[in-house]
A and B are shown apart, each in its own frame.
Chain A
Amino acid sequence: MNLWSDMDYDMHPVPLDLDTADRLLAGALAPEDAPPGYAKVARLLEGAAAEPMLDELARETEVVALMAAEVRLSSSIESSSPRASFMPLALSRPRATAAAVAAALACSAGLASAGALPGAAQDVASAMLAKVGISVPGADESARDHPNVRGSSADTSDVAKGSDISDLATTTELTGVNKGATISSAASDGKSQAGQHGSASGGSAAVETPNGGGKSSKGTSTADTASGGASSAGSGNASSGKENGRQRKRRPQFGRLR
């Protein structure tokens, strides 16, 4: 029986099959075991994968120092953004954004179909959803039998009325409950029953409003002026603001859980 090397492959070429090619590239075939004509190829592949040469490690010191610095820098950056690394894979940023958008769309569509959006938004939602074949009521339809009480800059009667009430509040010589009842009655065209039920415990003494921490004093001062200091309007907002501040401080620090 002849060896591969004894055969004249020029006269009788032996096709290279896929598996033999695979074995040659994996280094599993020595040149002497290679098919006819492929001994040189096998030697060439051996040469390509020969032992490392010194010049191939010439930049070792420089590159290793840079790598070490890069590793430390990267790890310090990762540890300084703990929320990102703490976030589970399922809630990574793109997915969380997509989920939030989908939830907002679903919520808006639901509110629109119920006619519960503010007027302008209801109109926009109605027009947009109509384009995709979904019928939801417009702002006017959703108002149903409620009167249109929205004011406009053209309505000067309300401005004049406000001015009159303001004048009355600052010029009247009445005090306490009587002052409040008079102003309230004037402001409501006689519909108000202020001052007719119960009695004021403090008489005309001004009540200190507890909204010192609130950012806005507009509502308080208006009510205060109109009521002669008996109003507590605005105190709810101030209290709410402080409460939110406390809740923010109580939020857990996820970064420390690592």
Chain B
Amino acid sequence: MQSQEPLAGILAAAKTGAEWAITALYREHQPSLLRYLRAQAGSEGEDLASEVWLQAAAGLGRFDGDDAAFRRWLFTIAHRRLIDSRRRQGRRSTILLVESQAEADESNDPEKRALRVSDSEEALARIATLPPEQAEIVLLRVIGGLDVEEVASIVGKKPGTVRVLQHRALKRLEEELAGEGRRVDVTE
């Protein structure tokens, strides 16, 4: 089976333009890449993801590394694309957040919202409410599957700073979720 090829073989084949190998790489990494971009750029995330893949394809011949290195490289490209996109727009896109908020307002039922917290889109929308730096770090850690050092190199910060920012992010999420829980209790 081609999809069970060792990754080194898949990467080598992808460098020659073999579509089966490129498909394998795409299926492996596209979901997390798209979530990372959607959470921060909303509906523009789909286009950004395609741009990331094309840029990766253009540089694939020069890439040298294993699967972890490839993932790190892909998210580095995505991070830079996101920065370019924000510069173009001159504002941080929160389309996804706005859309999710509208849905939540429709139901206006805190208990149902609490139950849906494990839903992927809802979770991403929640993370997107964090300050941009914190949201980016949490998304790279959780969705990108990257460790502190890798995230630090991508966002251009020291590992210690990343640790502090991710700690603040979790505390903030905990406070928001706890606040909602308390509001549920009061309404009952």
Contact = CB atoms under 8 A, between A and B. Distances in A.
A53 B124 CA distance: 14
Contact of A64 (B16, B23, B32, B124): B23
B163 A60 contact: no
B166 to A, nearest CB: 6
Interface in A10-50: 10, 16, 18, 21-22, 24-27, 37-38, 40-41, 43-50
Given A25-B166, A26-B141, A48-B35, A38 B174 contact: yes
A65 B143 CA distance: 26
Interface stretch (B2-10, B53-61, B89-97, B102-110): B53-61
A53 B120 contact: yes
A19 to B, nearest CB: 9
A215 interface: no
B154 interface: no
A57 B31 contact: yes
Interface of A is mostly: helix
B187 interface: no
B122 interface: yes
B41 to A, nearest CB: 15
B26 A63 contact: yes
B173 A43 contact: no
Contact of A59 (B46, B124, B166): B46
A68 B17 contact: yes
B120 A57 contact: no
Interface range on chain A (Cβ under 8 Å from partner): 35 or more
B30 to A, nearest CB: 6
B19 A45 contact: no
B119 A47 contact: yes
Contact of B142 (A45, A65, A67, A69): A45
A60 B49 CA distance: 11
B178 interface: yes
B148 A48 contact: no
A66 interface: yes
A21 B173 CA distance: 12
Contact of B50 (A41, A48, A63): A63
28 contacts: A10-B178, A18-B167, A21-B170, A26-B141, A40-B117, A45-B142, A48-B123, A48-B139, A49-B32, A52-B30, A56-B34, A56-B35, A60-B26, A60-B30, A63-B50, A64-B22, A64-B23, A66-B54, A66-B57, A67-B57, A68-B17, A70-B54, A70-B57, A71-B15, A71-B17, A71-B61, A72-B17, A75-B15
Given A49-B142, A68-B57, A74-B61, 11 more contacts: A25-B166, A38-B170, A45-B142, A48-B127, A50-B123, A53-B31, A66-B50, A71-B22, A71-B61, A72-B17, A75-B17
Interface of B: 14-19, 22-23, 26-27, 30-32, 34-35, 46, 50, 53-54, 56-61, 114, 117-120, 122-124, 126-127, 138-139, 141-143, 145, 147-148, 163-164, 166-167, 170-171, 173-174, 177-178, 181
